Amino acid sequence: MGFDADYELIRNIALHRDPAFDAVNKADLEASLRALEALTTTNNKDHFILSAMKVLALAGNGHTRIIPNTALSVVPYRFVALGPHVFLTDAPEIHSAHVDSQVLAINGASVEIIFRAALPYLAGTHARHRVIFPIMLAWPDALSKLGFSSVQQDLAFAIKTPSGDLDEFTVPIRETIPAVSLYPTSEHGWPSANASPEYVTWRRPKSGVQVVALKSFFDPEGKKLAAQINEASTRVAQHPEDNLILDLRGNTGGDFTKSLPLLDMLQTKWRGTHCIALVDKFTFSAAIVCVALLSHNLKDCLTLMGEEMGDSLCFHAEGDTIRLPDSGALLRYSDAFHDWENGTSDQTTPANIKDHLVKAGPLPHIQSINISAKERRHGPDPCMEAAMAILANV
């Protein structure tokens, strides 16, 4: 098979359509494109995809990347980055006892060493690198390309169980499944690849405190999100003196304007003194814009807790996602500039974004709290508990 059509699309995006590449050294970009072109006649689809990931990663923009998930086969294990570690969150029955364990090494190489070797293939900020990286631990050809395995070598995993014991197991590299069954194209970081069908949930765990979980702003059919946002806004407004916890962990984005009814209500009707937003490395795109608008509107009333979000306040987005015709991987490109730190725009910024741009930066310091896979799945939730403790003492 050949990859000429894929190459031409990637080259066109990188040279002419995605302004995130404007800051890339032209010699480096041309060299990467030549290396990719040399692989257009290869029979190794995975190596072509990896080389394409390297080209797109040069843009240094989290929205600009190759999403390989739709074109890959991986060993049937789901790995997720939580805090500074990578955890095994789904596995076949034979290794189900190892679920929620921290992954320490593969074939004797530490996960951190593998991560550093993978950096040239990963798009965006440091936090975004951590989000994208774990699929490579289940991708035999990627491990081989990075020098940590071979096509004949099964994968030997060293782990630390939730109880703190050290263990290991071996995974046959020929037992693979489609990657999208375990790795969603927008990685949300939850133990299961299947996200919750609910976009927004509301609860009042105690008098004086309300919790709204904003799980996603991506509603392509337009059937659920707006109604759920409106319902949550109404419920919060019924107790306007309550303090508030907004949980944006795992929210990978969508359309930030869908959150505006809730944000407007908080600015005009809410009379609480403290709003705590919970964020993590999977908080991305429109969810980061939501945090920026919260910070601008609520100012000193807002506290951020969790971990560094998946991007800065200044990025390129919008654009589109294209399925590459030869490999089947997805090409995500950007064509619009967002600057929520300084409130500035350029000729690529659409009018509907300019209408809402604010100078929100710098954001409040994020109070760092990590979570393990076991806590993510079963609780207790250390981030939520810390937020509740703060509100219990105000």
In a domain, 33, yes or no: yes
Tell me the CATH number at 226. 3.90.226.10
381 in the same domain as 266? yes
Domain final position from 148, 181, 214: 181
248 in the same domain as 166? no
Tell me the CATH number at 120. 2.30.42.10
Domain final position from 146, 181, 216: 181
In a domain, 20, yes or no: yes
**pLDDT of amino acid 16:** 97
Structure confidence by residue, pLDDT tens digits, 138-170: 999 999 999 999 877 899 999 999 999 999 999
In a domain, 346, yes or no: no
152 in the same domain as 34? yes
pTM above 0.85, yes or no: yes
237 in the same domain as 127? no
90 in the same domain as 39? yes
Contact assessment for residue 391 and residue 209, using Cβ atoms and an 8 Å cutoff: yes
Closest to 63 (Cα-Cα) out of 316, 340, 287, 249:
316
Residue position matching structure tokens 């904003």:
214
152 in the same domain as 214? no
**pLDDT of amino acid 149:** 92
Count of C-beta atoms within a 10 Å radius of residue 394: 9
In a domain, 145, yes or no: yes
For residue 307, report the phi and psi dihedrals to the nearest 5 degrees. Answer: -155, 170
pLDDT in tens, the chain (394 residues): 799 999 999 999 999 999 999 999 999 999 999 999 999 999 999 999 999 999 999 999 999 999 999 999 999 999 999 999 999 999 999 999 999 999 999 999 999 999 999 999 999 999 999 999 999 999 999 999 999 998 778 999 999 999 999 999 999 998 899 999 999 999 999 999 997 778 999 999 999 999 999 999 999 888 899 999 999 999 999 999 999 999 999 999 999 999 999 999 999 999 999 999 999 999 999 999 999 999 999 999 999 999 999 999 999 999 999 999 999 999 999 999 999 999 999 999 999 999 999 999 899 999 999 999 999 999 999 999 999 999 998 8
22 by Cβ neighbours in 10 Å (0-12 / 13-18 / 19+) ranks as exposed
**Displacement of CA 285 from its chain's centroid (Å):** 9
In a domain, 333, yes or no: no
* Tally of domains within the chain: 2
Structure confidence by residue, pLDDT tens digits, 179-201: 999 999 999 999 999 977 789 99
302 in the same domain as 159? no
In a domain, 380, yes or no: yes
In a domain, 189, yes or no: no
128 in the same domain as 227? no
Domain final position from 131, 153, 181: 181
Contact assessment for residue 280 and residue 306, using Cβ atoms and an 8 Å cutoff: yes
386 in the same domain as 247? yes
**pLDDT of amino acid 153:** 84
219 in the same domain as 108? no
Residues spanned by the domain of 218: 200-313+360-392
In a domain, 37, yes or no: yes
39 in the same domain as 172? yes
Task: Count Cβ neighbours within 10 Å for each residue of 205-237 and write b for 16 or more, e otherwise.
Answer: eeeebbbbbbbbbbbeeeeebeebbeebbeebe
147 by Cβ neighbours in 10 Å (0-12 / 13-18 / 19+) ranks as exposed
In angstroms, what CA-CA distances link 208 with 26, 234, 244, 384? 56, 16, 8, 15
171 in the same domain as 49? yes
